[in-house]
């Protein structure tokens, strides 16, 4: 199963991949927010539990700090 999330749904897509790795084989976050936070359940901190293929797409111009989070998320997922 594949999951796709837009904005806050992007965080949900990655969390779904972490919570049900046997069923989610691909997860897409489009302009997702909250992918890198200080929370213990932040998707980037749980990346080692994700077996699915992950695609994260951001925007060049946005009101939230995706560019700042991209490096931390990339490091966690690779």
Report domain extents, the chain: 2-77
pLDDT in tens, 2-35: 999 998 899 999 999 999 999 999 999 998 888 8
* Unique residue bearing structure tokens 């700042």: 68
Per-residue pLDDT at 63: 60
pLDDT in tens, 27-42: 999 988 888 888 888 8
Which of 18, 2, 6, 14 is CA-nearest to residue 59?
6
**What pTM value is reported for the model?**
0.81
* Unique residue bearing structure tokens 């749980």: 46
């Amino acid at each position: 199963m594949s999951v796709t999330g837009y904005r806050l749904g992007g965080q949900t897509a990655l969390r779904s991949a972490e919570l049900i790795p046997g069923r989610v084989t691909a997860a897409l976050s489009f302009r997702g927010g909250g992918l890198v936070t200080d929370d213990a359940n932040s998707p980037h901190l749980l990346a080692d539990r994700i077996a699915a293929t992950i695609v994260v797409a951001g925007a060049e111009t946005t009101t939230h700090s995706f560019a700042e989070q991209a490096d931390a998320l990339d490091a966690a997922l690779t």
